[in-house]
A and B are shown apart, each in its own frame.
Chain A
Amino acid sequence: MKPIEPARLAGTSIEYADMLLLRFGEFTLKGKNRTRFEKTMLRHVREIVKPYSRARLLKEYGRIYVELNGEPAQELLEALVKVFGISSISPVKAVRPALEEIVEASLRFIEMLNPEPGTTFKVNARRVWKDFPYGSQEMNRLVSAPLLKAFQALSVDVRTPELELRVEVREQQAYIFCESIPAVGGFPLGTNGKAMLLLSGGIDSPVAAWSSMRRGLEVECVHFFSYPYTSREARQKVVDLARVLSRYAGKIRLHLVPFTEVQTSFAGIGQDNLMVTLMRRAMLRIATALAEREGALALITGESLGQVASQTLPSMNVIGRATELPLLRPLVMMDKAEIVDLAKQIGTYDLSILPYEDCCTLFLPKSPTTNPNLQIVEKIEATLPGYADRLAEAAAAVITVEVTPHGDERPADEADLIATVNEEWF
């Protein structure tokens, strides 16, 4: 999912643009549902553009134009490439539909891109307004001739050019653009239903969340914490991770589940090597209860095959049987390096590597089994006194926080700490 660098271009035309052209991703292949997808995406784009009061949106078949009217192009671009469902963005210069203005703007475009010698190039003109005096083919020649004369670095290649300058002539305006900046693609926000994701403080689960959102899932997060054995910082770190995710979703619901009681109940059974298996199954059960309450139709985890003992195939088999909901594992076949790369791109990596104890590293056995036996695990769970009640209690004691990109939300039970703050001091 690495953005493709435009070939051998040193500059960028973004600061020259009057508008941004947003192209839709794969959902354009959908038939009847297409309007619903487009509407959702338009709503998301409108949300992003809202703080830029002068910007105007223009919806057209298969694309959205954002007229800048003086708003900062670079900032808007950086926000919009993150919008799910957009496949690419082009900075567009709009001029009057007159040949000399089109040529002049084109010259300025190439000048800003500052192509290296030997860059292959073509002009691709389209005459939408049929009263314009020159045809599309004619325009290709009329625009490319002065460009080739002005820039020695360019050489023509009409089949696979590194640089393609596109001109669209319409009655009101002519649009000129040549860069196509890759965006995240995928499906618009929440258009494929809702799922409950197990969010740890690690590197993987935030990436799993982002990957799921990109496929159009609305994601709610569950985090398990173990006061007083783990710190407030560890939990706040998860809130902060959810905040990064909320940049892509607008808002993330985060359910914080107190897990200490459940966890300590496994301590006395003398089966240390099954601890992780039991813990993961308990988490899935609690998450399932929450999913049912919130109307989510699947669970998502950040598991990746073979990473740790609980992520071997036999382990995943035993753990996965704790829930009847579909268990989605978007990262299951990815290499760690790829996951780290993605975590850096979406902005969760630096938070994820903060070193706080979390409930998974607590009471960790020396040699967790890579090959648990389902029958033994089920037998242990059946003999734990009051096990089902304990799971239900944990699910009931959940603290839910709605996290937004620019908020400063804190879990409700931290209110007592904040209450010690004497406002007179400020």
Chain B
Amino acid sequence: MIYWDYAAAAPPYDEVARTVEQLMRLHYANPSSLHRAGAEAAALIERAREVSAAALGVLPGEIRFTSGATESNNLAIKGAALQYTGRGRHIITTEIEHPSVYESCLQLQQMGWEVTFIRPDANGTVNPSEVAGAVRRDTVLVSVMHVNNEIGSVQPLAEISRAVKSANPRTLFHVDGVQGFGKLPGDPRDFGADLYSLSPHKIRGPRGSGLLYVKEGVQLFPLLSGGSHEGGLRAGTENLPAIVAGAKAVRMASEWRGEFVSRILPLRNRLLAFLREIPEFIVNSSEKGAPHIVHFSYPGMKGEVMARQLEQLGMLVSTRSACSSRLAEPSRVLLAIGRDESAALGGIRISFGDEHTAGDVAALEQALLGAIKALKIAEGGMR
């Protein structure tokens, strides 16, 4: 079996798993306890904050630990909205955001907020001047993802940020950096982000830990009440093993990004070229997209059927994003970039990790050809 679903969950590095195990055994004390063991646990969290901050090029005080990217995105969007109701009740996002951003915005809409959803072009890219054009005096927040989790399209974040800030300097800019970090250059400061979400388990860290960069001076309304953990922003006993191991994964991803890209980009390009040769497929990812995601459709064939056929042939792939793959509806992202319903139902996502080789890609190509053949025979038989 070859695993092609790194964008959904990447297998943790051995070092990461070791850190989790050792910390669970050695540092079980509650970081809020006043005794020495508690102080040691607290020191580890502060070190994790420094390490993550250094990898992101920000200040340690600007890092908040959460339970994952979903919480980071919820906290960034709803936390900013509830904090700054005085500035207005308007939010801008795109039609291709991850559900944790998209649904947060829909929730605010139910609460009486106005939400403008920007539509991307056919490549899945958002036009900065279109975003800026939607900014009003009462726009509290603009939220745009770095890399789309289904098709891998990349947003021009620095341009969007500049355009938004010149339209309204008080509007906050949130970036969902989950699929971009460790794969593409740029950190929160380069993007002019006020808020930036990360998830270590997408970069071979542990799950159950997330990061939110909150630019100095930006206030958020806490979504979880309780103790004064994480500067009062997120109550709850800290998940120490996940926080420390998460910081390790963040550091490793930032250090190895260059190597990752130079190894994986040729593999992705080879797969893209191969897919374009097959008349049955529509390729939904663009060459200019992220180096680790390839998405294609087999119109008329449900993505799930294709995925199960590929599994028979030893390839574990995803239909669009894992978070939505159990839904029967067509992909919101594919519809937004102008695909018809048939193509939007039949999507397959291949996502690369740093362990893949040219041999793996060759095996995948053979499996794809085999799957098409098998499905054709089955289709013929059913008719």
Contacts and interface: CB of A to CB of B under 8 A. Distances in A.
Interface of A: 12, 14-15, 72, 74, 231-232, 354, 406, 408, 417-418, 420-421, 424-426
B50 interface: yes
Given A408-B60, A417-B43, A425 B19 contact: yes
Contact of A425 (B60, B165, B248): B248
Contacts, number: 39
5 contacts: A406-B59, A417-B43, A425-B19, A425-B23, A426-B247
A417 B169 CA distance: 42
Q: Which of B43, B248, B251 is packed against the most chain A CB atoms within 10 Å?
A: B43
Contacts of B19: 424-425
Nearest to B41: A420
Given A15-B169, A421-B43, A425-B244, 9 more contacts: A12-B169, A74-B165, A231-B34, A406-B59, A418-B47, A420-B40, A425-B19, A426-B247, A426-B251
B51 A426 contact: yes
A425 B40 CA distance: 14
Q: Please report whether the interface of chain B is mostly helix, strand, loop or mixed according to DSSP.
A: helix
A425 B59 contact: no
A74 B244 CA distance: 36
Nearest to A421: B47
B50 A408 contact: yes
Interface residues of B, number: 23
B367 interface: no
A417 B245 CA distance: 20
B121 to A, nearest CB: 28
A418 B60 CA distance: 16
A421 B60 contact: no
A420 B169 CA distance: 44
B129 interface: no
Interface string B224-267: 00001000000000000000110110010000000000000000
Contact of A417 (B34, B40, B51, B59): B40
B48 interface: yes
B39 interface: yes
B44 interface: yes
A97 B146 CA distance: 44
B312 interface: no
Nearest to A15: B166
Contacts of B22: 425
A425 B44 contact: yes
Given A231-B34, A408-B50, A425-B23, A420 B248 contact: no
Contacts of A15: 166, 169
Given A426-B48, A426-B51, A426-B248, A417 B39 contact: yes
Contacts of A424: 19
Given A408-B60, A417-B40, A426-B244, A74 B169 contact: yes
A421 B47 CA distance: 8
Contacts of A421: 40, 43-44, 47
Contacts of B47: 418, 421, 426
B39 A232 contact: yes
B165 to A, nearest CB: 8
A24 B259 CA distance: 53
Contacts of A72: 165
Contacts of A426: 47-48, 51, 244, 247-248, 251
A420 B48 contact: no
B248 to A, nearest CB: 5
A89 to B, nearest CB: 16
A328 B59 CA distance: 35
A14 B51 CA distance: 36
A44 B248 CA distance: 38
Interface in B179-199: none
A289 to B, nearest CB: 31
A380 B46 CA distance: 45
B225 to A, nearest CB: 16
A205 B255 CA distance: 43
A418 B248 CA distance: 17
Contacts of B51: 426
A406 B248 CA distance: 23
A420 B247 CA distance: 17
A72 B165 CA distance: 10
Contacts of B248: 425-426
A321 to B, nearest CB: 38
B352 to A, nearest CB: 26
A-B complex: 9 closest residue pairs judged by Cβ atoms: A425-B19, A426-B51, A420-B40, A421-B47, A417-B43, A74-B169, A426-B248, A425-B244, A15-B166
A12 B165 CA distance: 13
B86 to A, nearest CB: 15
B336 to A, nearest CB: 31
A425 B243 CA distance: 11
Contacts of B60: 408
Q: Which of B23, B51, B169 is packed against the most chain A CB atoms within 10 Å?
A: B169
Contact of A420 (B43, B50, B165, B245): B43
A416 to B, nearest CB: 10
Contacts of B165: 72, 74
A344 to B, nearest CB: 12
Contacts of A406: 59
